[in-house]
Structure 1
């Protein structure tokens, strides 16, 4: 049964492979699907959801493997996660929606855009052999055995030092879902690493907004030109000084180009 928190209701959808996916939404407004990053759940958007509530019916989902959604042993890929998002829309009776995906959510949004129109992509890449990958030091920092060291490395990649000084107590909404079992966390990592929409991107037929930052080591900014060169109708917007979680660090200004684009 759906539950209600403030003006958002929480419910669930069942995918075509019988996985239960939970989601949060409002009852009114133009539908906007919010797609979060790897190994995170809908709390990724807690700090910024309100920036869209006046113009949109925001819909966020807990990917399979996260939050209160089912946590299967397998079935993790960005096309599969895109189908899960479509299952959520189907359960709500929504035939068409705007979409805003950041990080791995941007990869998921690419697959939805290939098959269903209307997207915005933030801090993401096309994947595959043509993508510009993070450098070796970044990979090593995220592969450390000490969980606290990994959390610190991820924090530094997500937020600029000045912002962290001003928000040292948090909450920081983008540092992962602590409830994920190891198999699901590995599944999300493989889904992102194996993502490849290079050949499919030219088939996107709707206008697409590409957002990124100029100080970004997790997903290098050179991927913006790659995406813009493959998707026929794109606009780009660069946020100076921010890092991967630009949408949270740059709030509320970071929401403005997204709202303007969808309007």
Structure 2
């Protein structure tokens, strides 16, 4: 259950649905492409005892308005508008997939505000990123997209033990226009030149068998962001944060609760 929700109005007057849950220092959770806050439904409780978790529905998803434009820098501006509306000056950020791309910009745009950064199953974008191959793109564009996406998110053994529905396969209520906008936003992301500006202590997490965002991208990010740490989950796919939550969530919590960080 969400303890508190509100509507925040972005700079261009787009209405954004915001949800809060938990207690303690603020933790902004950013979901993947074409997803709303429900992406975090299975794992949010893992953090709510230690942090005030903040989510919002990206423009075009959930209860937020659609938009005339979509980009990861714009999503980052929306995220900062949300934190401003809540009068939260300093916070941690954990972004996965496209949320990780957005989190890069949040940290670049507001270096004095982000205390610690966690990037999961994501890429730096642009010419330096290693993108999914053409076969993966073909399957995702085909008639069995949802089944293919399930397979890329989770191993078959985990799916057998944890039957759906899964909240990480996209917002079914999105318009085709908004879904295309999210795809373009993710595809056009490129923070490579500015990643060295990130000064927040950073942890990079990835599944070793991720086909959606190949694991080499985690190493590219770790090499590009000063003093970043990296952890790779053996056998995990794009949904490592869900499938490996018994290991991943405590790892994130320990990193964010590092002594000296409030």
* Partners of 1:206 and 1:233 within 8 A in 2: no
Asked if residue 45 in structure 1 is aligned to residue 40 in structure 2, the reply is yes
- State the distance in 1 between where 2:108 and 2:231 align: 21
- State the distance in 2 between where 1:251 and 1:199 align: 32
> Which position in structure 1 is the counterpart of 2:107?
113
> Which position in structure 1 is the counterpart of 2:20?
25
Q: Which runs of 5+ in 2 are unaligned?
A: 258-262
Report deviation, 1:251. 2.1
Following TM superposition, the consecutive aligned residue runs of length 4 or more in structure 1 with deviations greater than 2 angstroms are none
Aligned length: 253
What does residue range 73-84 of structure 1 map to in structure 2 within 5 Å? 74-84=68-78
Report the 3-state secondary structure (helix = DSSP H, G, I; strand = E; otherwise coil) of the residue aligned with 2:55: strand
- State the distance in 1 between where 2:253 and 2:186 align: 27
Q: Relative to 1, partners in 2 of residues 1:245 and 1:27: Cα closer, same or farther, differing over 3 Å?
A: closer
Report deviation, 1:7. 5.5
> Which position in structure 1 is the counterpart of 2:122?
124
* Partners of 2:2 and 2:19 within 8 A in 1: no
> Which position in structure 2 is the counterpart of 1:258?
252
* Partners of 2:22 and 2:49 within 8 A in 1: no
> Which position in structure 2 is the counterpart of 1:156?
151
Map Cα deviations across residues 115-155 of structure 1 (whole Å, 9 max, x no partner): 222311000000000100111110100111x2xx0001101
- State the distance in 1 between where 2:160 and 2:22 align: 37
- State the distance in 2 between where 1:115 and 1:97 align: 14
* Partners of 1:134 and 1:217 within 8 A in 2: yes
Q: CA RMSD in A?
A: 1.0
Report deviation, 1:23. 1.1
- State the distance in 1 between where 2:188 and 2:61 align: 19
> Which position in structure 1 is the counterpart of 2:85?
91
Of 45, 49, 54, the residue aligned with 1:54 is: 49
Tell me the TM-score normalized by structure 1: 0.94
Asked if residue 14 in structure 1 is aligned to residue 9 in structure 2, the reply is yes
> Which position in structure 1 is the counterpart of 2:260?
none
Of 156, 165, 170, the residue aligned with 2:160 is: 165
